[in-house]
């Protein structure tokens, strides 16, 4: 039987285990560093986030998180207390919207038009956009493409487009690294963007799947939610809930964008 006491016990154990597996899962592997040379504080934040542990060894999780040991508190604190800037948070809710393109445009304009190389762009990801933060294992096992009416047959949002291999020295290249041909979570992460994940979205999505019987291993809801959390993409920062975290971000000086 899954009880509140057992859930907290599992969460505490996961926090210990995350110190071993978290650092590796936090890194985004790329062929080139896409932060520009003068972005010193942004690069320092990116490197600190890569070292910060991620909680990805849960056995079961509760509906409402009550302890920092249950989310990526160290990484989230780095974002909230970062000394880089200006800082903008995007309220991203629709998978099929041009959300990655808008973030890319914001970064390009801030960096080269307004000369803010340390501009920090953060995605507050929830709603259907949150599907982009699960790895291929979850997409395949739980047939997430069906939730998109097969518009997206796999998680193409984390791919590395051909444009990613172009030279980062030519920022005006219409087919290059900073162009619309390179809209990808992975590429934006290499540029310093941060993608926040939402525990509430994990809980509500797995509740719906559980109710529909999309549950290959016949897991309890609390254990299915844990599995989804454990398979967030590399670099994602788990929050206890995006809509509540948005307020914390605004209090920390982030400008809201939607």
Report the chain (258 residues): mean pLDDT per 10 consecutive residues.
Answer: 39 38 50 74 94 96 97 98 96 97 97 96 98 98 96 93 80 90 93 97 97 96 98 98 98 96
Determine the pLDDT at residue 28.
Answer: 57
Determine the pLDDT at residue 55.
Answer: 96
Determine the pLDDT at residue 34.
Answer: 81
Tell me the domain boundaries of the chain. 4-257
DSSP 8-class letter at 146: G
Determine the pLDDT at residue 169.
Answer: 84
The DSSP secondary structure of 156-206, one letter per residue, reads GGGS--GGGGS-TT-TT-TTSTTSGGG--HHHHHHTT-EEEEEHHHHHHHH
Determine the pLDDT at residue 60.
Answer: 97
pTM above 0.95, yes or no: no
Rounded alpha-carbon distances, angstroms, from residue 198 to 5, 49, 74, 154: 23, 17, 16, 20
Q: Take residue 236 and report the two structure tokens written for it.
A: 């994602």
Of the candidates 141, 168, 127, the one whose C-alpha atom is nearest the C-alpha of residue 31 is 168
Rounded alpha-carbon distances, angstroms, from residue 152 to 20, 99, 131, 144, 162: 33, 15, 10, 9, 19
């Amino acid at each position: 039987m899954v009880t509140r006491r057992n859930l907290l016990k599992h969460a505490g154990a996961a926090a210990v285990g995350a110190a071993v597996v978290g650092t590796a899962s936090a890194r985004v592997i790329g062929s080139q560093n896409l932060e520009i040379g003068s972005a010193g504080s942004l690069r320092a934040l990116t490197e600190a986030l890569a070292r910060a542990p991620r909680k990805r060894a849960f056995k079961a999780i509760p509906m409402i998180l009550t302890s920092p040991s249950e989310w990526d508190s160290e990484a989230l604190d780095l974002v909230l207390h970062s000394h880089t800037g200006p800082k903008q948070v995007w309220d991203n809710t629709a998978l099929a919207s041009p959300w990655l393109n808008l973030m890319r445009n914001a970064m390009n304009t801030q960096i080269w038009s307004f000369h803010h190389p340390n501009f920090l762009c953060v995605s507050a990801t929830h709603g259907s956009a949150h599907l982009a933060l699960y790895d291929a294992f979850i997409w395949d096992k739980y047939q997430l493409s069906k939730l998109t009416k097969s518009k997206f047959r796999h998680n193409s949002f984390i791919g590395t487009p051909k444009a990613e291999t172009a030279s980062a020295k030519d920022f005006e290249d219409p087919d290059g690294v900073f162009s619309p041909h390179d809209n990808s979570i992975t590429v934006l992460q290499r540029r310093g963007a941060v993608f926040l994940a939402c525990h509430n979205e994990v809980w509500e999505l797995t509740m719906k799947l559980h109710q529909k019987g999309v549950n290959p291993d016949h897991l309890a809801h609390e254990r299915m939610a844990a599995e989804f959390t454990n398979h967030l993409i590399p670099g994602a920062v788990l929050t206890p809930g995006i809509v509540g975290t948005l307020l914390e971000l605004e209090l920390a000086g982030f400008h809201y964008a939607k």
